[in-house]
Structure 1
């Protein structure tokens, strides 16, 4: 039997996304949460970049931004985050610094109207804008949820966008739990390598 210190633990989907983000970020960096939702990813980014870093959080729902604002305030990190009540496709008009990381959770805000979902065209426009701002060795991390109307089209669009990245400049990987039924979410990670 292996000693517990050598045991490999395969993380669930969101913890894997967070692991990638934690490894990419350090104090003083700039990061983007393209889908702030309830603020869990925004908080993680704010903690990683520290008091000298900057985070932008986007959401189209005021309810999402209110939850995120409260979560950040409770953690004492609201001062390092700019919350933007707009679609992530507008990020180029709001983000004014090179990014080290960006995270996208595709789908809908848990506990809210499931008719308000991310869509292929705005998401791909946001991915392109974020990739244009990404520094070398920066990462784009997408958690791709598949169980809602329009999810198949968005997944196909995002996969097509990612697969078209130049392999000389990008490393693109997918992390999925293959034994989970019913269209489970997965992580799509894109690292700019040159």
Structure 2
């Protein structure tokens, strides 16, 4: 069966994660990606600007007895204040926190800053997965900005792929995958 973009994002990152890896969940949300990364990495830095995201994620991690994630109440554009070591894997889920205020959304300006900072710190062979949800107000603008930025990356330094359902109605989320080559 064809994998959904979100499942493929985890498979894509799992291939490079191990007990020595540092990972970043740039959009913590309800903690699903944070928990996934923490099960496969030495250390996870997880970011969100909403208290509700930290609370939900903390509860999820405690239920799973996961203790190697640092939950940070700050925007992902400030990740360089917290992450000093090289990053092996990172993930974004762009859009909004489904169970929260839908006016609090990721935005192109801060998202692009965060993507740039992650790519600078990404180990050679490291990977970044970006799930793009764009069926909300402002989502198209962020989608276009991210795709334009990723499309302009030097192909000698980064391999990039795009994975999207083609026959779904509305605006199905899709996945952008990046691997640092050198």
Tell me the TM-score normalized by structure 1: 0.92
* Match for residue 34 of structure 1 among 26, 36, 50: 26
Q: 1:74: Cα distance to partner?
A: 1.1
Deviations 1:83-138 (A, max 9, x none): 11000000011111100001000000011110000000000000001111100010
Aligned residue in 1 for 2:116: 128
- Does residue 94 of the first structure (1) align with residue 82 of the second (2)? yes
Which is greater in Rg?
1
The CA distance in 2 between the partners of 1:28 and 1:135, in whole Å, is 12
In structure 1, runs of 5+ residues without a counterpart are 1-8
Counterpart of 1:62 in structure 2 is 51
Q: Aligned partners of 1:177 and 1:25: how far apart in 2?
A: 26
Offset at residue 10 of structure 1 (A):
1.1
Determine if the alignment matches structure 1 residue 82 to structure 2 residue 70.
yes
Aligned counterparts, 1:1-194, within 5 A? 9-49=1-41, 53-78=42-67, 80-194=68-182
TM-score (norm 2): 0.98
Instruction: Tell me the CA shift for residue 141 of structure 1.
Output: 0.4
* Matched residues, number: 182
Matched residues in 1 for 2:16 and 2:169: separation?
30
